[in-house]
Homo-oligomer: A and B are copies of this chain.
Amino acid sequence: MGRLTGGDPSLLRRINSAVVLHALRAAETATLTDLVNDTGLSRPTVEGVVEGLVAAGLVEEAAVAEGATRRQGRPARRFRFRVEAGHLLGIEIGPHRIAALLADLGGRVRGSAHVEVPAAAPAEERLEKVRTAVTDLLGRTGVPRSALRAVGVATPGIVEADGTVRLGTALPGWTGLRLGERLRRSFRCPVLVENDANAAAVAEHWKGAATGSDDVVFVLAGLSPGAGSLIGGRLHRGFGGAAGEIGALHLLGREATPEEVLSTTGEPLHPLDEAQVAGVFARARQGDEQARAAVARYLRRLVHDVAALVLALDPELVVVGGWAAGLEGVLDPLRTELARYCLRPPRVAQSLLGEAAVATGALRLALDHVEEQLFAVESTVTARR
């Protein structure tokens, strides 16, 4: 149990400030009277809070609309939340590409950048590509680097709380890389690093296939699946940041690696060669027996891994993304098998965000960070319910 302290008048001030900012953000513009009505606070309190928010650059008086001036008397002053008071970046650093999204404080995307990277590129080259993509994006959108309030970064691997990649076999030189620290040199704002499947889970919950559910498992279905989970709407990272690394389950039974599972020749596939993998699925569709057997093995493995997640967590919804999500015959077997042994099988949906999921999630994590600062008191207030 945390230490309890007595009733704190500054707590009340912070609650009031968050309440007003929240009401202002929900409305396009609001008068002081609107805010008094929306918040239940007294007019002097609202006036004091709005004054403070204007001084902080987060709120400004809105220009008076044409029609309003024609009415009798002085029109009431209207205020608006300045979504342009700061910007955010969401960056995906993947095996094949780097993607970046730029958004305002309202979370609206203002620009994006995509750069291809060779799968074999060493860490330094990959980081250099990130820096170039960001510089280009800021230049194109005319947003100064100093306007960035937070940067979210998502990448394959197990990521520690400080942004160090504890294990990241998908990218050369990634394991042990102090990714957060390296990127913080390029930005003066907080840089948050997250596992890619975790970020995608957050993204689908924000504006994808999982907007209606707070208990979600997102499966990033590739050769070896990763997963991200939301429990009660919050990301579940696990004690060591490794929650959802279910792809390791097959190691236990000394079973074949994913590269062997999908092989039609006995020679394992290259883990990052998506074209080679797609070729196996294409040949299976054309009736090639060996390819069909390989795909069947792959699906069985995927279903088993997802089933383990579902039994452990009992989510409402499973969202499947990653390159394998679009493949024919992935979702239906999953639904069928989950229905077989789950009392209340979760819904299974395909990712709505597709390739954009990871960068979008990184952006959302940056936005969460900024909102936590702006609305620091909100969790306190909502916890009261």
Q: Looking at A13, A241, A383, which has the most chain B CB atoms within 10 Å of its CB?
A: A383
The CA of A215 and the CA of B231, in the complex, are separated in Å by 14
Interface size on A (CB < 8 Å)?
A: 69
Q: Which of B40, B251, B337 contacts A252 (CB 8 A)?
A: B337
Stretch at the interface among A82-90, A136-144, A259-267, A340-348: A340-348
Contacts of A72 in B (CB 8 A): none
**CB pair B303 A2 closer than 8 Å:** no
A304 to B40, CA, bound (A): 56
Provide the residues of chain B in CB contact with A287, threshold 8 Å: none
Q: Per-position contact with B for A325-343: 1 when CB-CB < 8 Å, else 0?
A: 0000000000001001111
* With A239-B215, A313-B238: A19-B39 Cβ-Cβ less than 8 Å: no
CB A263 to nearest CB in B, in angstroms, measures 21
Find out whether the CB atom of A5 lies under 8 angstroms from the CB atom of B251.
Answer: no
Residues of B with C-beta under 8 A to A346: 239
Contact in complex: A343, B308 (CB < 8 Å): no
Residues of chain A whose beta carbon lies under 8 Å from any beta carbon of chain B: 1-2, 4-7, 11-13, 15-16, 18-19, 22-23, 39-41, 45, 158, 166-167, 215, 227, 229, 231, 236-246, 248-249, 251-253, 303-304, 307-309, 311-316, 337, 340-344, 346, 377-385
CB<8 Å pairs between A and B, sample of 29: A2-B382, A2-B385, A4-B23, A5-B381, A6-B40, A7-B15, A7-B16, A12-B12, A158-B343, A167-B343, A227-B312, A229-B312, A231-B231, A231-B236, A236-B313, A238-B313, A238-B315, A240-B316, A240-B343, A240-B344, A243-B312, A243-B313, A244-B314, A248-B341, A251-B341, A252-B341, A308-B308, A380-B380, A383-B383
| 15 more CB-based (< 8 A) A-B contacts, given A4-B22, A242-B314, A249-B311 | A158-B343, A215-B238, A238-B314, A240-B343, A242-B342, A242-B343, A242-B344, A246-B311, A249-B307, A251-B340, A252-B337, A308-B309, A312-B313, A377-B384, A383-B383
